[in-house]
């Protein structure tokens, strides 16, 4: 179906869209730029104006005609409307103030307000491509963000072909333009040809609008079609002949093989780490989640803000900052956008719009940077594997993954100084596998990832060390209190795969907690796990976690302080414990866990599970390498900053992986190329 519209017909079309109850969003002139935002009708369009763009430079210019869409792209696209820069996720009703400890939650309400559906007017081919990328992020599964999904599903899309591409466009390289393809996701597609529009219908909604125009929608003509084809072709040819191209061929491999290229240092000398490129890019999606609770407010809000891999907090966890340097941040942006994206979402993250080039305050040009690395790669034949399957795939959660349930603390057990185990009773059936984690939180304070350290009947155990604001508040909870819980998330220890094998578990410090569920399973089933050895290291005897339980697994070990343990007779479990620093009365091993590994001959054929501080994991792996253990026999658990736990906030990225959903448990070979590398 198609039609031909004059300017009057087009004006009426927009009126009709508004009458149908849509909020019009389109290009309009504001602050010396053509910005994408609310408009009242056709008069608000930048009629007769165009933009001139260069790296770090954007200017408006009058065209001398009445073109409605005679410009290219403004600073931000519809990402702003579909994932607002600041958005409330849920509202949590707060309990009364207490003498000690934080306020606890009393109820959770969804915060999504269904406003008018959006009519997104004037979207270019690259913007439709970007929207498809955003669809994959927010709705591509296994988790779906209902806020995005709803806005996107209701939105009416009026797309426009590009016949006059801008100076910075390179959509031909990325195969995302300049013409809007017939199969793309639009309701109507416009081609502006002189004083007329050729309209192609893409949906029933679109057809109804055209039908509603009556006589104003004239039949399209063969000439108009020919003019469109010619125009799009000419634009494509022009783009093709330009110097600015982005060669996507083998780009992920090229970038990941050149993580130490000198170009990153050169870039760091120019890049301000301001984050502008990420916030104008139509495909970036990183965000943070913060708690907002004014002093006397009865509710606390969990709010999502646009964030960027150029900020400090993005890659910070308690006690570590993984990307302190600008070179590492720029490298994250580029290796994600043009590399890791492909394995995460099956497509490049760049749609060739040129926004990051125009709106970089110092005019850094991503295509130039790629070309420089391509021209002189430092490690051309040594590409590291980028696309690898996650350790274990997990079933999706139904419903809003950001909407927590209110769980009840049944008991609190003090394990060590500043470490407690909360036994938490979730609402409804809750099934998890050892190694997975939950997001535990309190209104007023926030949410943090905590591994499930075991299950006792219907109660989930979480062993938590108080290190900062959120963990301290969780540790301060008392039996009967409620908290917010989302989960379970992430991959699990490969218990099924371990059956019949000799298993060695190596844990450091609190790293024993995520392993306890798996250990309990193996201890209880000698017929499945013929030999299980635990090598456990802690800083001092007072820092030994679950000491009584460990003793109960292996009667032969002795270390102080001992209590009389319940003894398991099977004898298939051996436990070795070491402490970094000796103390009076300590009769066990002294030294780090790798030293213990050398003392206790380990088999090259066993299966290994490793969890603890990252530095310890790396030393353990080095040790395993020397005894000839293959990478596909080892699993380990990783930690990074996490805000969503469902692959949407972007914070936990580790090269091609999201640690929250592809991990936290990885088989060693999946991440071997990145482990220990600065900046990841």
Q: Tokens 């995460």: give the residue.
A: 344
Q: Does 35 bind another protein (CB under 8 A)?
A: yes
CB of 134 to another protein, least distance (A): 17
Rama region for 679: left / alpha / beta (φ>0; ψ in -120 to 50; rest): left
Among residues 416, 399, 391, the alpha carbon closest in space to that of 610 is found at 391
Among 272, 396, 560, 604, binds ligand SF4 (CB under 6 A): 272
- Residue 321, phi then psi, degrees to nearest 5: -130, 115
CB of 541 to ligand FAD, least distance (A): 20
Q: What does 355 bind: ligand FES, ligand SF4, another protein, none (CB cut-off 5 to 8 Å by kind)?
A: ligand SF4
Q: What does 484 bind: ligand SF4, another protein, ligand FAD, none (CB cut-off 5 to 8 Å by kind)?
A: none
C-beta closer to ligand FAD: residue 200 or 639:
639
C-beta closer to ligand SF4: residue 87 or 301:
87
C-beta closer to another protein: residue 293 or 498:
293
Q: Does 491 bind ligand FAD (CB under 6 A)?
A: no
Q: Does 605 bind another protein (CB under 8 A)?
A: no
Q: Does 27 bind another protein (CB under 8 A)?
A: no
Q: What does 283 bind: ligand SF4, ligand FES, another protein, none (CB cut-off 5 to 8 Å by kind)?
A: ligand SF4
Among 306, 341, 345, 559, binds another protein (CB under 8 A): 306
Q: Does 75 bind another protein (CB under 8 A)?
A: yes
Q: Does 76 bind ligand SF4 (CB under 6 A)?
A: no
Question: Which one-letter DSSP state was computed for residue 352?
Answer: S
Q: Does 467 bind ligand FAD (CB under 6 A)?
A: yes
Q: What does 658 bind: ligand FES, ligand SF4, ligand FAD, none (CB cut-off 5 to 8 Å by kind)?
A: ligand FES
DSSP H or E run through 69: none
CA-to-CA distance for 422 and 408, rounded, in angstroms?
A: 10
Site mask, ligand FAD, residues 620-659, x = CB under 6 A? -------------------x-xxx----------------
Q: Does 660 bind ligand FES (CB under 6 A)?
A: yes
CB of 462 to ligand FES, least distance (A): 17
Measured from each CB, the residue nearest to ligand FAD is 468
- C-alpha distance from residue 302 to each of 81, 184, 288, 441 (Å): 19, 35, 10, 11
Q: What does 647 bind: ligand SF4, ligand FES, another protein, none (CB cut-off 5 to 8 Å by kind)?
A: ligand FES
CB of 449 to ligand FES, least distance (A): 8
3-state SS, one letter per residue, for 446-496:
EEEEEECCEEECCEEEEEEECCCHHHHHHHCCCCCCEEEEEEEECCCCCHH
Q: What is the dihedral of CA 393, 150, 342, 266, to 10 degrees?
A: -120
CA-to-CA distance for 466 and 640, rounded, in angstroms?
A: 17
| Burial zone of 117 (CB within 10 Å; 0-12 exposed, 13-18 middle, 19+ buried) | middle
Contact present, 123 and 157 (Cβ < 8 Å): yes
Contact present, 189 and 261 (Cβ < 8 Å): no
C-beta closer to another protein: residue 472 or 677:
472
Q: Does 658 bind ligand FES (CB under 6 A)?
A: yes
Q: Does 644 bind ligand SF4 (CB under 6 A)?
A: no
CA-to-CA distance for 493 and 529, rounded, in angstroms?
A: 14
Restricted to residues 469-488, the positions that interact with another protein (CB under 8 A) are 469, 472-473
Among 91, 331, 355, 533, binds ligand SF4 (CB under 6 A): 355
C-beta closer to ligand FAD: residue 29 or 467:
467
Contact present, 480 and 402 (Cβ < 8 Å): no
Among 78, 426, 449, 509, binds ligand FAD (CB under 6 A): 449
C-beta closer to another protein: residue 99 or 215:
99
Question: Which one-letter DSSP state was computed for residue 675?
Answer: T
CB of 475 to ligand FES, least distance (A): 22
Neighbouring residues of 472: CB distance < 8 A, sequence distance ≥ 6:
466
Neighbouring residues of 219: CB distance < 8 A, sequence distance ≥ 6:
3, 4
CA-to-CA distance for 358 and 354, rounded, in angstroms?
A: 6
CB of 142 to ligand FES, least distance (A): 13
Q: Does 333 bind ligand SF4 (CB under 6 A)?
A: yes
Among 277, 452, 470, 504, binds ligand SF4 (CB under 6 A): 277
Q: Tokens 């570590």: give the residue.
A: 320
Q: Does 318 bind ligand FAD (CB under 6 A)?
A: yes
Contact segment (CB under 6 A) with ligand SF4 among 142-150, 186-194, 331-339, 397-405 equals 331-339
C-beta closer to ligand FES: residue 338 or 652:
652
Restricted to residues 631-650, the positions that interact with ligand FES (CB under 6 A) are 642-645, 647-650
| Burial zone of 333 (CB within 10 Å; 0-12 exposed, 13-18 middle, 19+ buried) | buried
Sheet holding 33-38, edge to edge: 2-6, 196-201, 188-193, 156-160, 118-123, 23-30, 33-38
Is 58 in a helix, a strand, or coil?
A: strand
Question: Which one-letter DSSP state was computed for residue 116?
Answer: P
CA-to-CA distance for 239 and 177, rounded, in angstroms?
A: 10
C-beta closer to another protein: residue 75 or 454:
75
Q: Does 332 bind ligand SF4 (CB under 6 A)?
A: yes
Q: Does 308 bind another protein (CB under 8 A)?
A: yes
Q: Which residues pair with 53 in a beta bridge?
A: 58
Site mask, ligand FES, residues 86-115, x = CB under 6 A? ------------------------------
CA-to-CA distance for 583 and 201, rounded, in angstroms?
A: 79
C-beta closer to ligand FES: residue 342 or 402:
402
Question: Which one-letter DSSP state was computed for residue 586?
Answer: -
Q: Does 96 bind another protein (CB under 8 A)?
A: no
Q: Tokens 């497509």: give the residue.
A: 347
Q: Where are the beta strands (DSSP E) in 539-669?
A: 573-579, 589-590, 607-611, 634-637, 653-654, 657-658, 665-667
Among residues 31, 37, 41, the alpha carbon closest in space to that of 10 is found at 41
C-beta closer to ligand FAD: residue 514 or 612:
514
CB atoms within 10 A of CB 157: 26
CB atoms within 10 A of CB 81: 18
Among residues 477, 282, 490, 254, the alpha carbon closest in space to that of 380 is found at 254
Restricted to residues 173-202, the positions that interact with another protein (CB under 8 A) are none
Contact present, 610 and 506 (Cβ < 8 Å): yes
DSSP string, 542-575: GG-TTHHHHHHH-TT---SS---PPPP----EEE
Q: Does 286 bind ligand SF4 (CB under 6 A)?
A: yes
Q: Which chain residues interact with ligand FES by CB under 6 A?
A: 642-645, 647-652, 658, 660
Q: Which chain residues interact with ligand SF4 by CB under 6 A?
A: 271-278, 280-286, 308-310, 332-333, 336-337, 350-356, 360-362, 364, 366, 650, 653
Q: Which chain residues interact with another protein by CB under 8 A?
A: 30-33, 35, 37, 56-59, 75-76, 80, 85-86, 99-100, 102-103, 269-276, 279-280, 288, 290-296, 305-308, 310-313, 324-326, 358-363, 444-446, 468-469, 472-473
Q: Which chain residues interact with ligand FAD by CB under 6 A?
A: 317-318, 437, 446, 448-451, 463-465, 467-472, 510, 513-514, 639, 641-643, 664
């Amino acid at each position: 179906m198609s039609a031909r519209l004059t300017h009057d017909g087009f004006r009426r079309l927009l009126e009709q869209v508004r009458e149908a109850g849509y909020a019009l969003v389109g290009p309009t002139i504001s602050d010396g730029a053509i910005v994408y935002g609310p408009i009242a009708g056709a008069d608000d369009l930048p009629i007769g104006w165009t933009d001139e763009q260069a790296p770090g430079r954007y200017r408006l210019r009058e065209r001398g005609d009445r073109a409605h869409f005679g410009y290219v792209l403004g600073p931000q696209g519809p990402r702003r409307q579909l994932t607002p820069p600041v958005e409330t996720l849920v509202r949590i009703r707060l309990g009364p103030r207490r003498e000690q400890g934080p306020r606890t939650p009393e109820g959770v309400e969804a915060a999504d307000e269904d406003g008018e559906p959006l009519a997104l007017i004037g979207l270019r081919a690259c913007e439709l491509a970007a929207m498809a990328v955003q669809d994959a992020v927010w709705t591509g599964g296994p988790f779906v963000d209902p806020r995005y999904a709803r806005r996107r599903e209701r939105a009416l899309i009026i797309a426009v072909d590009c016949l006059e591409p801008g100076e910075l466009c390179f959509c031909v390289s990325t195969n995302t333009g300049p013409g809007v393809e017939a199969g793309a996701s639009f309701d109507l597609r416009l081609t502006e040809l002189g004083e007329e529009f050729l309209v192609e219908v893409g949906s029933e909604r679109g057809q109804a609008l055209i039908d509603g125009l009556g006589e104003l929608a004239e039949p399209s003509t063969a000439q108009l079609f020919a003019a469109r084809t010619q125009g799009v072709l000419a634009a494509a040819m022009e783009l093709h002949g330009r110097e600015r191209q982005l060669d996507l061929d083998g780009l992920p491999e090229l970038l990941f093989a050149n993580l130490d290229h000198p170009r990153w240092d050169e870039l760091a000398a120019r890049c301000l780490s301001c984050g502008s490129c990420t916030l104008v890019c139509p495909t970036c999606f990183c965000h943070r989640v913060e708690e907002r609770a004014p002093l006397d407010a009865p509710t606390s809000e969990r709010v999502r803000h646009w964030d960027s891999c150029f900020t400090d907090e993005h890659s910070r966890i308690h006690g570590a900052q993984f990307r302190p340097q600008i070179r590492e941040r720029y490298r994250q942006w580029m290796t994600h956008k043009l590399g890791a994206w492909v394995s995460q979402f099956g497509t490049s993250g760049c749609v060739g719009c040129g926004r990051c080039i125009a709106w970089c305050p110092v005019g850094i040009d991503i295509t130039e940077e790629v070309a420089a690395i391509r021209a002189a790669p430092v490690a051309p034949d040594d590409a590291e594997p980028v696309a690898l399957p996650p350790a274990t795939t997990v079933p999706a959660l139904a419903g809003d993954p950001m909407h927590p349930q209110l769980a009840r603390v049944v008991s609190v057990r003090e394990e060590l100084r500043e470490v407690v185990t909360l036994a938490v009773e979730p609402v409804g059936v809750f099934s998890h596998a050892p190694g997975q984690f939950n997001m535990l939180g309190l209104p007023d304070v926030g949410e943090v990832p905590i591994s499930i350290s075991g299950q006792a009947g219907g109660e989930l155990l979480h062993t938590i060390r108080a290190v900062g604001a959120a963990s301290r508040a969780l540790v301060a909870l008392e039996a009967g209190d409620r908290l917010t819980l989302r989960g379970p998330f992430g991959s699990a220890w490969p218990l099924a795969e371990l059956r019949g094998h000799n298993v060695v578990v190596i844990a450091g410090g609190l790293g024993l907690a995520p392993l306890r569920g798996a250990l309990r399973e193996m201890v209880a089933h000698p017929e499945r796990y013929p030999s299980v050895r635990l090598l456990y290291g802690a800083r001092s005897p007072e820092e030994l976690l679950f000491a009584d339980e460990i003793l109960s697994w292996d009667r032969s070990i002795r270390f102080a302080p001992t209590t009389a343990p319940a003894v398991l007779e099977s004898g298939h479990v051996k436990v070795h414990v070491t402490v970094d620093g000796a103390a009076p009365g300590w009769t066990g091993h002294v030294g780090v866990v790798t030293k213990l590994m050398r003392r206790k001959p380990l088999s090259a054929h066993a299966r290994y599970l490793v969890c603890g501080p990252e530095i310890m994991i790396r030393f353990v792996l080095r040790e395993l390498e020397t005894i000839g253990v293959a990478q596909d026999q080892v699993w380990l658990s990783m930690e990074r900053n996490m805000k969503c736990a469902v692959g949407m906030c972007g914070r936990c990225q580790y090269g091609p992986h999201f640690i929250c959903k592809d991990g936290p448990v990885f088989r060693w070979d999946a991440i071997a190329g990145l482990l220990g590398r600065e900046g990841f």
